[in-house]
Chain A
């Protein structure tokens, strides 16, 4: 009796071990390769016997290092700057999306008002729009229409105070990219948070109302603290998209506002790929999401299930 059972158990754990190996293996491979010299990667001294080196990371981060690595005579890869751009864009757009999305989700759940159904339906519809579809209009609008005219009121004021040409377009600025990320992520955040806000007991809010709190106070002091897990999940998903997105950022950014994914793609498309350095940059880009996953996997899974099951 015990033999088939333990054999089944063995098979069971073997399957699990295989699955873990398959899902983590490629990441691990990249991690290891990022510490190898190109010679080692190409020559195929496979396995773990190699001299680990941080040269790849030094080369990737050469513009923010405080010392000059001796193997480098020219800093071609401006990874540090791109990393900071990515950080600014992802953090600000996550914060904005959360605040705005949270308020909208609350209104959709708790109030009956004119146009509520329309709003909630279009939120869902917009969720289906792929970023590639937004590429053309966003490129056109951000470059041509969403500009401060130099003769206009605000543009003129900027020109008079700060000098410069005075005609500023959204394209090529951090805020341009942030705006489209916020808009892109809002439907999703609203959708997820709705399912969390529904669970907040109404009586709590009414009690606060009776004690003389205004609607905004009720929202910030009663509802927000209760939906923290939902907020965490929504924050991670938003951050992930804003941090990882390539297409729209590549259309909207210029040399100074490039984000990390753009940098990686640009370096990939060249004929001769320097695997070591590319993998080091890839690893650096992957680190923040990996940290989030390790810290908050429970919230991620809750968010994922809430998002799918409460369709």
Chain B
């Protein structure tokens, strides 16, 4: 009797520490943030002292051109980063999918960029983009081309390039793994039927890799909204608002403008955006599984 009781309690005992910590340090803060977003709140007040203002913060942001600007910058950044990284990463995987000697050494070198601190990545690129001493402009000088004002006129592009440098290997490695676990029989059959390399890619490899590719893209997309340190170090959001992504704007609203309520409302907008993406990902996964199950059932019926 006592052992049965103990056994029933076991899962809860295993879960308890994680559940408690996440409740205290994640769920409670998130609730607290929603609560705080309805208040006119500055850092020197406790939340109880702050005045309740209803939806004022949300309405203010809804009409705030700066917020729009930064939302657009964020979406642009996320869109370009994910698209370009997917194209390059998957393309390289398709190109390099063969027996390579020393592949493990290569992979080690490719994952180096993403293990290094974002702060340091920003620092390296800020140096390389430097208008006078930077690597790129020195190179342009040496071959006689005019200098480019990387972090001035082309700040967003430069920031996107840095992110592509850091995260393309992630997509490359994942799609290479997906590619190498494809069923050999399908590829073999295609080759025997005389499909060209290009046809194999379009009709067999890409469709079979699709589930992994979509999950990868969504993971990258969600991570693209978390990028902050690289941009902070490289441009501090400037010039103007040209690289001020939402995460950066939240942190500046909270620390520089000292308007915690507005920052909380902004965080909520960002969270809603991400939630929609996540729900989309879930729905897609479910749909994929359902389709696979249906196909399996169909195959079994026929046989």
Interface positions of A (Cβ within 8 A of B): 12, 15-16, 19-20, 22-24, 26-27, 29-30, 33, 41-42, 44, 46, 99-101, 103-104, 106-108, 110-111, 113, 116, 119, 122-126, 128-141, 143-145, 179-180, 182-184, 186-187, 190, 214-215, 219, 240, 243-244, 246-247, 251, 261, 264-265, 268-269, 275, 278-279, 282, 285-286, 289-290, 292-294, 297-298, 300-301, 304-305, 308-309, 311
Contacts and interface: CB of A to CB of B under 8 A. Distances in A.
A136 B46 CA distance: 12
B206 interface: no
Residue with the highest number of chain B CB atoms closer than 10 Å, among A20, A41, A107, A261: A107
Interface string B22-38: 10111111101100100
Given A186-B22, A304-B174, A24 B138 contact: no
Interface in B76-109: 92, 95-96, 100, 104, 106-109
B202 interface: no
A125 B281 CA distance: 11
Given A136-B33, A265-B233, A184 B110 contact: no
Interface in B118-153: 118-120, 123-128, 132-133, 135, 138
Contacts of B127: 29-30, 33, 275, 279
B255 interface: yes
A15 B95 contact: yes
A143 B278 CA distance: 31
Interface in B249-302: 250-251, 254-255, 260, 263-264, 267, 270-271, 274-275, 277-278, 281, 285
Contacts of A111: 10-11, 14
Contact of B165 (A26, A128, A135, A179): A26
Interface of B: 6-7, 10-12, 14-15, 17-19, 21-22, 24-30, 32-33, 36, 41, 43, 46-47, 92, 95-96, 100, 104, 106-113, 115-120, 123-128, 132-133, 135, 138, 165, 169-170, 173-174, 177-178, 212, 215-216, 219, 222, 225-226, 228-229, 232-233, 236, 246-248, 250-251, 254-255, 260, 263-264, 267, 270-271, 274-275, 277-278, 281, 285
B117 A261 contact: yes
Given A23-B110, A44-B133, A139 B254 contact: yes
Given A136-B250, A186-B21, A305-B177, A293 B108 contact: yes
A268 to B, nearest CB: 6
Q: Label chain A's interface by main secondary structure.
A: helix
Contacts of B170: 304
Contacts of B216: 308
14 contacts: A26-B128, A29-B127, A100-B18, A110-B11, A125-B275, A128-B278, A134-B29, A135-B250, A140-B47, A186-B18, A268-B233, A293-B111, A301-B111, A308-B212
Contacts of A104: 14-15, 17-19
A247 B251 contact: yes
B110 to A, nearest CB: 5
B275 A140 contact: no
A273 B270 CA distance: 33
B247 A136 contact: no
Contacts of A126: 22, 26-27
Nearest to B3: A214
Contacts of A16: 96, 100, 106
A24 B106 CA distance: 11
Residue with the highest number of chain B CB atoms closer than 10 Å, among A131, A282, A304: A282
A265 B116 CA distance: 15
B15 A119 contact: yes
Contact of B26 (A184, A275, A300, A304): A184
Given A26-B128, A130-B247, A308-B215, 13 more contacts: A16-B96, A42-B132, A126-B22, A130-B226, A133-B30, A138-B25, A144-B46, A182-B25, A186-B21, A246-B118, A246-B119, A282-B123, A293-B111
Contacts of B264: 136-137
B239 to A, nearest CB: 15
B17 A100 contact: yes
Nearest to B18: A104
